[in-house]
């Protein structure tokens, strides 16, 4: 985490003087120096980093150079949009990935299995930005069922959620399938079957619970995918979230905003990994910390 913050800070400083963003033909030398003092640009680099890190730890990420407001506020405003999008995508990938994965394991070699595996292969090979554009072309431009971009009522969520969740749904399906196959082959399932447990209950209660462990580990990777995906999806759909902020601040040389975004994403990432460990223990009582 610290290494990451150092890396980001070093890079953002190499990216050039942030004052050039504000520069106009009427900017005087005095004004230029005043900005330098105001943002601490006249101090040595290491000291700038120390100041920045100290502030960051207290939750103060500095001021966005483009919007001239605290970075924390700018990011906070955009977090809900990204979270909603990520939630939609996550729901999509669970709703598609888990049932299809289970079904394709249960009907191994059947039509459903074939369809599921084809979807998985397709899903992992489709470039997400292209999928988004094609979805817009087909369902928004040609059929006019959903809006093309922006955030608003429920219809706005459909296409971005599918775009973002597509890749993770495919991965989820694959993991779910292989994990389910493994569990269905185990002794306790045979015992349950011998005891006369109904088939539905056997698959959806007895087997699923154990088979869910593997996808849960995968959830960490899903999250990484969602973060990356958010940047792409929000760009394609003009979604007012954090991912778009990242692209915008890079284009505007707005390094306080950029560092803030990267730090925030990393924090979420670490936090979620912790949560996954906890969820692990909840599902599988054999694991104790």
Distance from chain centroid for Cα 268: 9
In the region spanning residues 236 to 275, those forming contacts with other proteins, defined by CB under 8 A, are 236, 246-247, 250-251, 253, 258, 261-262, 265-266, 269
CB of 196 to other proteins, least distance (A): 33
7 lies in the binding site for other proteins (CB under 8 A)? yes
121 lies in the binding site for other proteins (CB under 8 A)? yes
- Residues with Cβ within 8 Å of 32's Cβ and at least 6 positions away in sequence, in order, are 19, 23
**By CB under 8 A, which span of 9-17, 36-44, 194-202, 205-213 interacts with other proteins?**
9-17
DSSP 219-278: HHHHHHHHHHHHHHHHHHTT--SHHHHHHHHHHTT-HHHHHHHHHHHHHHHHHHHHHHHH
Strand pairing partners for 63? 70
CB of 194 to other proteins, least distance (A): 29
Q: How many residues contact other proteins, by CB under 8 A?
A: 44
Q: Which two tokens stand for residue 151?
A: 């955030």
115 lies in the binding site for other proteins (CB under 8 A)? no
Nearest Cα neighbor of 40 from 63, 21, 57, 58 is: 63
178 lies in the binding site for other proteins (CB under 8 A)? yes
Nearer CB in complex with other proteins: 91/134: 134
2 lies in the binding site for other proteins (CB under 8 A)? no
Distance CA(252)–CA(20), nearest Å, equals: 10
Burial 172-198 (b: 16+ CB within 10 A, else e): bbbbbbebbbebbeeeebeebeeeeee
Distance CA(240)–CA(51), nearest Å, equals: 30
Q: Considering only residues 65, 74, 75, 227, which one is a binding residue for other proteins as defined by CB under 8 A?
A: 227
**By CB under 8 A, which span of 31-39, 42-50, 118-126, 278-286 interacts with other proteins?**
118-126
141 lies in the binding site for other proteins (CB under 8 A)? yes
Q: Considering only residues 105, 232, 241, 256, which one is a binding residue for other proteins as defined by CB under 8 A?
A: 232
Q: Considering only residues 218, 222, 239, 260, which one is a binding residue for other proteins as defined by CB under 8 A?
A: 218
180 lies in the binding site for other proteins (CB under 8 A)? no
CB of 70 to other proteins, least distance (A): 20
In the region spanning residues 44 to 103, those forming contacts with other proteins, defined by CB under 8 A, are none
Distance CA(122)–CA(16), nearest Å, equals: 42
Burial 38-67 (b: 16+ CB within 10 A, else e): ebeeeeeeeebbeebeeebeeeebbbbbbb
Backbone φ, ψ for residue 3 (5° rounding): -60, -40
Binding region for other proteins (CB under 8 A) = 3-4, 7-8, 11-12, 14-15, 121-122, 124-130, 133-134, 136-137, 141, 174-175, 178, 218, 224, 227-228, 231-232, 235-236, 246-247, 250-251, 253, 258, 261-262, 265-266, 269
């Amino acid at each position: 985490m610290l290494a990451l913050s150092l890396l980001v800070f070093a890079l953002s400083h190499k990216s050039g003087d942030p004052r050039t963003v504000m520069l106009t033909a009427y900017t005087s030398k005095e004004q230029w120096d005043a900005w330098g003092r105001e943002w601490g640009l006249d101090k040595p680099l290491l000291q700038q980093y120390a100041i920045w890190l100290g502030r960051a730890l207290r939750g103060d990420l500095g001021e966005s150079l483009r919007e001239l407001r605290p970075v924390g506020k700018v990011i906070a405003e955009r977090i809900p949009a990204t979270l909603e999008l990520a939630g939609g995508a996550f729901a999509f990938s669970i709703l598609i990935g888990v049932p299809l994965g289970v079904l394709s394991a249960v009907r191994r070699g059947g039509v459903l299995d074939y369809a599921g595996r084809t979807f998985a292969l397709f899903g992992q090979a489709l470039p997400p930005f292209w999928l988004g554009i094609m979805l817009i072309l087909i369902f928004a431009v040609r059929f006019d069922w959903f809006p093309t971009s922006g955030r608003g009522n429920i219809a706005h969520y459909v296409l971005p959620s599918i775009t973002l969740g597509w890749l993770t749904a495919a991965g989820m399906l694959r993991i779910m399938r292989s994990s389910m196959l493994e569990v269905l082959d185990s002794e306790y399932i045979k015992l349950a079957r011998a005891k006369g447990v109904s088939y539905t209950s056997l698959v959806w209660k007895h087997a699923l619970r154990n088979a869910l462990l593997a996808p849960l580990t995968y959830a960490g990777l899903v999250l990484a995918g969602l973060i990356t995906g958010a940047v792409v999806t929000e760009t394609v759909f003009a979604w007012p979230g954090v991912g778009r902020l990242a692209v915008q601040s890079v284009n505007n040389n707005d390094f306080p905003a950029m560092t803030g975004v990267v730090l925030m994403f990393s924090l979420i990432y670490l936090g979620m990994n912790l949560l996954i460990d906890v969820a692990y223990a909840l599902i599988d009582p054999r694991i104790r910390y």
